[in-house]
């Protein structure tokens, strides 16, 4: 890992300020001035000090500006209404930044290697149900989060946890055996099961006789009746095949797959052990952990009939993660409706004595909804991932063909997946109201816009006969410098995203970079540049690297042309 210029400058500057102020225990906050003309970084420190020193903030700022010994690379400090604004040696900064990016290339933005091992659990689809656009949000967010953790230096394990047991499976199996027994669809077998599930659920609501039949299937499933298990294994495989096809298409690679069916027995054992240890207690035949003193109610960890619950299995899975995989941080990407549940789970893990319980984090996200309301696999009013992908792909293909580009098929695939993923990357505390018009929009704040900027940068570089990363800078104009300045921020953005678990920091950033590049591109010619030609070429290369690296964190490919 090379030097992170911007961060180093800030550190050195902080030291200089400390010396100038000569006070212990002050927190120095930096911000960006609203305009580059005012400086490169600023601090409102004097307002903070005014209280302590009982002096006018303007005077304090002036004193600091007069006495501070600035580190190398920072030209001057200015007092502006109490703010202290610092000006970089911009040519030096630009040259250093661009050269650093080009040298580090794919590693630019990478954080220092860390010892703590992270596991990100995401996707967690249920077999025997359809994979819809709500599931897509989870995969996109989870994969981006895992990529960000890894890039910021944590050894990271990408984990999936498949829900292959439970009532929904029994419903689907009942429906299959009742109405489709022996049917093996040619293709899209997973989707077929999704439809069977929805149909079964509907019919079960309407008939008590059906209910009785279903209960037998449920019992058979729990008791691992041979015939039922055969159908279960076959259909389960259909769903898994479909999931794997989707993951492959999305370019998502899990390191490990867990299955509910594999941890339920271990979970049952744990629940009983907790009962013996006194961590849990018996209530009406069920095993519960009393969390009332933590404001978390009672947590049921085993049914009174002795069968496993979601919680039972999650306890076993967590133990496996801590003990077998030796992870230090455990991140769960799961919908926000399970917030309370995860608080209970983490508290219980803590009571079980796992030190890692404090480093468990539930990254929650809100639903993807349709304009007419919530989607429900049960109701069957869902937009399937495959439907959405096909429609978007068709539009992308149409648009690529209009542009006369040779490998239309692969480019349109890249554009399609980029557009889908990027749209899922928004603030996870907000609902996404899905609509087709927006899904087919490739302009403005979208992935294709960013990919397009990358393609243009690539195109320029191809047209430059001799590329040299040796350059001097004459005069820097505003567009050039603004771009440099933004590019210098990637390492900090990645770091912040990994600390706050916020993939959207990266998606917002990469959009800003693309926008800034487009503005630069329109104002500053590169190939026929009258000045700064070599510098601009290098700047374009650096931009391409930053766009590529940031998009890669989001799991989005950066095409050479489009």
Residues in 293-312 that interact with RNA by CB under 7 A: 297-298, 300, 303-305, 309-311
CB of 110 or CB of 426, closer to RNA? 426
Residue 113 Cβ vs RNA, minimum distance, rounded to whole Å: 27
CB of 263 or CB of 351, closer to RNA? 263
Locate the DSSP E strands across 16-66.
41-43
- Could you please report the per-residue DSSP string of 462-509? HH-SS--S----S---HHHHHHHHHHTTHHHHHHHHHHHT-HHHHHHH
Of 31-39, 141-149, 201-209, 375-383, which part binds RNA (CB under 7 A)? 31-39
Q: In angstroms, rounded to a whole number, what is the distance separating the alpha carbons of residues 26 and 16?
A: 13
Q: In angstroms, rounded to a whole number, what is the distance separating the alpha carbons of residues 342 and 251?
A: 29
Q: Does 374 bind RNA (CB under 7 A)?
A: yes
CB of 154 or CB of 521, closer to RNA? 521
554: how many CB neighbours lie within 10 A of its CB? 25
Q: In angstroms, rounded to a whole number, what is the distance separating the alpha carbons of residues 344 and 341?
A: 5
User: Considering only residues 433, 436, 467, 477, which one is a binding residue for RNA as defined by CB under 7 A?
Assistant: 433
Give the total of residues touching RNA (CB under 7 A). Answer: 92
Q: Which helix (H) or strand (E) holds 439?
A: helix 436-439
Cβ 30 vs Cβ 41: under 8 Å: yes
For RNA, the binding residues in 317-346 under the rule CB under 7 A are 336-341
Residue 263 Cβ vs RNA, minimum distance, rounded to whole Å: 12
Q: Does 431 bind RNA (CB under 7 A)?
A: yes
User: Considering only residues 5, 17, 42, 98, which one is a binding residue for RNA as defined by CB under 7 A?
Assistant: 42
CB of 109 or CB of 166, closer to RNA? 166
Residue 535 Cβ vs RNA, minimum distance, rounded to whole Å: 13
Cβ 217 vs Cβ 196: under 8 Å: no
Residue 552 Cβ vs RNA, minimum distance, rounded to whole Å: 18
Q: What are the phi and psi torsion angles at 491 (to 5°)? A: -55, -40
Q: Does 524 bind RNA (CB under 7 A)?
A: yes
User: Considering only residues 27, 324, 528, 530, which one is a binding residue for RNA as defined by CB under 7 A?
Assistant: 528
CA atoms lying within 13 Å on the CB side of residue 285: 5
Binding mask 73-112 for RNA (x = CB under 7 A): -------xxxx-x---------------------------
Q: In angstroms, rounded to a whole number, what is the distance separating the alpha carbons of residues 106 and 514?
A: 18
Q: Does 399 bind RNA (CB under 7 A)?
A: yes
User: Considering only residues 441, 476, 482, 552, which one is a binding residue for RNA as defined by CB under 7 A?
Assistant: 441
**β-pairing verdict for 41-43 and 83-88:** antiparallel
CB of 181 or CB of 528, closer to RNA? 528
Of 113-121, 195-203, 450-458, 465-473, which part binds RNA (CB under 7 A)? 450-458
Give me the count of residues in the chain: 562
CB of 207 or CB of 304, closer to RNA? 304
CB of 391 or CB of 524, closer to RNA? 524
Q: What are 140's two structure tokens?
A: 């996109």
23-53: string of b/e by CB count within 10 Å (b at 16+)?
eeeeeeebeebeeeeebbbbbbbbebbbeee
- Please name which of 219, 299, 314 lies closest in space to residue 268, comparing C-alpha atoms: 314
Burial of 356 (0-12, 13-18, 19+ CB in 10 A): buried
Residue 512 Cβ vs RNA, minimum distance, rounded to whole Å: 8
CA quadruple 539, 540, 544, 545: dihedral sign: negative
Burial of 552 (0-12, 13-18, 19+ CB in 10 A): middle
Residue 140 Cβ vs RNA, minimum distance, rounded to whole Å: 15
CB of 16 or CB of 100, closer to RNA? 16
CB of 100 or CB of 344, closer to RNA? 344
294: three-class secondary structure by DSSP: helix
- Could you please report the per-residue DSSP string of 218-262? HHHHHTT-HHHHHHHHHHHHHHHHHHHHHHHHHT---SEEEEHHH
Q: Does 47 bind RNA (CB under 7 A)?
A: yes
For RNA, the binding residues in 252-281 under the rule CB under 7 A are 260
Q: Does 469 bind RNA (CB under 7 A)?
A: no
Q: In angstroms, rounded to a whole number, what is the distance separating the alpha carbons of residues 443 and 524?
A: 22
Q: Does 427 bind RNA (CB under 7 A)?
A: yes
User: Considering only residues 100, 152, 156, 458, which one is a binding residue for RNA as defined by CB under 7 A?
Assistant: 458
Residue 312 Cβ vs RNA, minimum distance, rounded to whole Å: 8
Q: In angstroms, rounded to a whole number, what is the distance separating the alpha carbons of residues 10 and 13?
A: 5
Of 59-67, 172-180, 377-385, 517-525, which part binds RNA (CB under 7 A)? 517-525
Residue 429 Cβ vs RNA, minimum distance, rounded to whole Å: 4
CB of 114 or CB of 272, closer to RNA? 272
Cβ 366 vs Cβ 432: under 8 Å: yes
CB of 100 or CB of 311, closer to RNA? 311
360, β-bridge pairs: 330
For RNA, the binding residues in 133-172 under the rule CB under 7 A are 163, 166-168
First to last CA, the chain: 32
User: Considering only residues 26, 28, 50, 439, which one is a binding residue for RNA as defined by CB under 7 A?
Assistant: 50
User: Considering only residues 12, 48, 63, 266, which one is a binding residue for RNA as defined by CB under 7 A?
Assistant: 48
User: Considering only residues 44, 73, 155, 380, which one is a binding residue for RNA as defined by CB under 7 A?
Assistant: 44
CB of 141 or CB of 526, closer to RNA? 526
Longest dimension (CA), the chain: 88
Binding mask 189-228 for RNA (x = CB under 7 A): ----------------------------------------
């Amino acid at each position: 890992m090379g030097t992170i210029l911007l961060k180093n400058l800030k550190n050195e500057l902080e030291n200089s300020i400390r010396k100038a102020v000569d006070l212990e225990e002050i927190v120095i906050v930096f911000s960006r001035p609203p305009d580059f003309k005012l400086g490169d970084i600023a601090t409102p420190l004097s307002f903070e000090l005014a209280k302590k020193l009982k002096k006018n903030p303007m005077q304090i700022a002036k004193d600091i500006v007069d006495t501070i010994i600035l580190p190398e690379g920072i030209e001057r400090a200015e007092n502006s209404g109490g703010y202290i604004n610092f000006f970089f040696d911009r040519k030096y900064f630009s040259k250093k930044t661009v050269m650093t990016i080009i040298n580090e290339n794919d590693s630019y933005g990478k954080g220092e290697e860390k010892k703590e091992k992270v596991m990100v659990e995401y996707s967690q689809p249920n077999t025997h149900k359809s994979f819809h656009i709500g599931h897509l949000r989870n995969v996109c967010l989870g994969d981006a989060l895992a990529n960000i953790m890894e890039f910021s230096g944590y050894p990271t394990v990408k984990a999936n946890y498949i829900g292959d047991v439970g009532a929904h499976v029994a419903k689907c199996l009942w429906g299959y055996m009742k109405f489709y027994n022996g049917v093996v669809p040619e293709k899209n077998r997973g989707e077929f099961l999704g439809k069977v599930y929805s149909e079964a659920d509907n019919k079960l609501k309407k008939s008590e006789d059906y209910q009785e039949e279903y209960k037998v299937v449920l019992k058979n499933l729990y008791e691992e009746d041979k015939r039922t298990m055969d159908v279960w294994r076959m259909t389960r495989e259909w769903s898994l095949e479909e999931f794997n096809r989707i993951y492959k298409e999305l370019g998502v690679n899990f390191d490990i797959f867990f299955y509910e069916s594999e941890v339920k027995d271990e979970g049952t054992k744990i629940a009983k052990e907790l009962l013996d240890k006194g961590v849990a207690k018996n209530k009406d035949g069920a095993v519960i952990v009393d969390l009332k003193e933590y404001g978390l109610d009672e947590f049921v960890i085993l049914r009174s009939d002795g069968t496993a619950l979601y919680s039972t299995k999650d306890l076993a899975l967590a133990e496996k993660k801590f003990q077998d995989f030796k992870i230090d941080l455990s991140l769960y990407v799961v919908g926000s409706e399970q917030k309370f549940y995860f608080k209970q789970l983490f508290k219980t893990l803590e009571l079980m004595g796992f030190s890692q319980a404090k480093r468990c984090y539930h990254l929650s996200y809100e639903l993807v909804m349709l304009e007419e309301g919530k989607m429900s696999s049960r109701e069957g009013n869902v937009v399937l991932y495959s439907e959405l992908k096909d429609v978007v792909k068709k539009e992308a293909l149409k648009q690529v063909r209009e542009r006369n580009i040779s490998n239309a098929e692969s480019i349109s695939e890249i554009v399609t997946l980029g557009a889908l993923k990027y749209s899922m990357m928004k603030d996870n505390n907000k609902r996404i109201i899905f609509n087709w018009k927006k899904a087919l929009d490739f302009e403005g704040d979208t992935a294709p816009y960013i990919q397009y900027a990358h393609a243009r940068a690539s195109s320029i570089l191809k047209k430059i006969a001799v590329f040299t990363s040796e350059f001097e800078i004459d005069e820097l104009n505003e567009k050039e410098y603004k771009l440099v300045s933004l590019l210098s921020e990637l390492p900090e953005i990645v770091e912040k995203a990994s600390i706050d678990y916020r993939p959207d920091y990266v998606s917002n950033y990469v959009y800003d970079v693309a926008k800034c590049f487009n503005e630069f591109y329109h104002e500053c010619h590169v190939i026929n540049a009258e000045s700064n030609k070599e510098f601009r070429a290098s700047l374009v290369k650096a931009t391409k690297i930053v766009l590529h690296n940031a998009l890669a964190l989001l799991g989005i490919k950066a095409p050479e042309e489009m």
